[in-house]
Amino acid sequence: MKFGVVVFPGSNCDHDCYHVLKDALGQDTAYIWHKDRSLDGCDCIVLPGGFSYGDYLRTGAIARFSPIMNEVEGFAKKGGIVIGICNGFQVLLESGLLPGAMRHNDSVKFVCKFVNLKTENIDTPFTNRCNKGQVLRIPIAHGEGNYYVDDNTLKALNKENRIIFRYCDKNGEVTPDANPNGSLENIAGIVNKPGNVLGMMPHPERCSEPVLGFVDGKLIFESIIGWLRKR
Amino acid sequence: MFNVKVEVTLKKQVLDPQGLTVKHALESLGFNEVDEVRMGKFLELKIEAKDRKEAEEKLRRMCEKLLVNPVIEDYTYQIEG
């Protein structure tokens, strides 16, 4: 089993993802440069957070045309496991692998803090180690995480259980007060229709070791490892 | 060579947090007559094309592929030259 962490110019959570997968979880992990044209036999691709191409034009809009993204799209369409975190989520939206788009946070501020996430669907490669409705404590750090999608797609996302995480309070209640950025229906993470591509704004790689205070992020990486092992 | 000016704006139905914040700032300065502020992007391009029609076709392709995100944005353009 091998993990690949894509490195775009301006990625800044690539090392964190690599460290968690390689050192904290003991997985074979490689960096993949954005100009590469091979995924090097990886079973799971991580699109990390950061500011790819300086967030110029729109977040993720230019990274989405990196040579490696052709490979990632082909891999995803064949059922390969892809997780996009923060800027990685924005790249997935721009590439059309996930529906919707990000607006500026409703506060127009960069928000960097721990939030609570309600796990809405545990029948996925990314959440199978969680309990239904489990509240995960994971940090966010973004200026453009205000998720938007048209009404029909939003209905489909709900109907098909594709909204995986919603911002909630500490008791798991999904309330307007718990929404840090204005996202429609408190959406923090979604999957594509077949369920093999996840985009999430919070950063699980920043809370996967006891030394960092919280370890809930590890559940997501362990879910992927467990799922790949079973396959 | 054609000079092209492109304006990219958020669609009407998409909330514009930046525009709203600017509106509030104007209000706090006493400009209470402002009903709405919408913010967008302005791009100037110089495009090589044999005629206006070709320049327009090229521009539309650029907008659809990269310059505009059709999920949340609309665009208008002017071609000069």
A98-108: pLDDT as tens digits: 999 999 999 99
Residue A54 has pLDDT above 90, yes or no: yes
Give the closest of A61, A62, A146 to B17, CB-based.
A146
A179-189 average pLDDT score: 98
User: Residue A118's pLDDT is what?
Assistant: 98
pLDDT tier, A78 (very low <50, low <70, confident <90, very high otherwise): very high
ipTM surpasses cut 0.90? no
Alpha-carbon distance A198 to A207, whole Å?
Answer: 18
pLDDT tens for A94-145 read 999 999 999 999 999 999 999 999 999 999 999 999 999 999 999 999 999 9
Domain boundaries defined on chain B: 2-80
DSSP secondary structure string for all residues of A144-176: --EEE--HHHHHHHHHTT-EEEEEE-TTS---G
Closest CA to A42 of A13, A15, A68, A8: A68
Tell me the CATH class for B2-80: alpha beta
Cβ-defined contact of A105 to B17 (cutoff 8 Å): yes
Alpha-carbon distance A63 to A56, whole Å?
Answer: 10
Q: What percent of chain B has pLDDT over 70?
A: 100
The whole domain housing A67 covers 2-230
B6-19 average pLDDT score: 94
A171-175 average pLDDT score: 98
Residue B81 has pLDDT above 90, yes or no: no
Shortest distance, CA B22 to any CA of chain A (angstroms)? 10
Say how many C-beta atoms besides its own lie within 10 A of residue A167's C-beta. Answer: 26
**CA A6 from chain center: how many Å?**
13
User: Residue A231's pLDDT is what?
Assistant: 81
Question: How many domains does chain A divide into?
Answer: 1
- Give how far Cα A201 sits from Cα of A3, A83, A121, A167, Å: 20, 11, 16, 10
* List of chain A residues whose C-beta atoms are within 8 Å of the C-beta of residue B72: 101, 103, 148
Sign of CA dihedral A194, A200, A204, A206: positive
Both tokens of A164, joined, read: 């995986």
A165-170 average pLDDT score: 98
Shortest distance, CA A180 to any CA of chain B (angstroms)? 13
Cβ-defined contact of B14 to A94 (cutoff 8 Å): no
What CATH code is carried by the domain that includes residue A202? 3.40.50.880
Compare A204 and A231 and report the one with higher pLDDT. Answer: A204
pLDDT tier, A82 (very low <50, low <70, confident <90, very high otherwise): very high
Say if B21 is an interface residue toward chain A (CB within 8 Å).
Answer: yes
Mean pLDDT estimate for chain A: 97
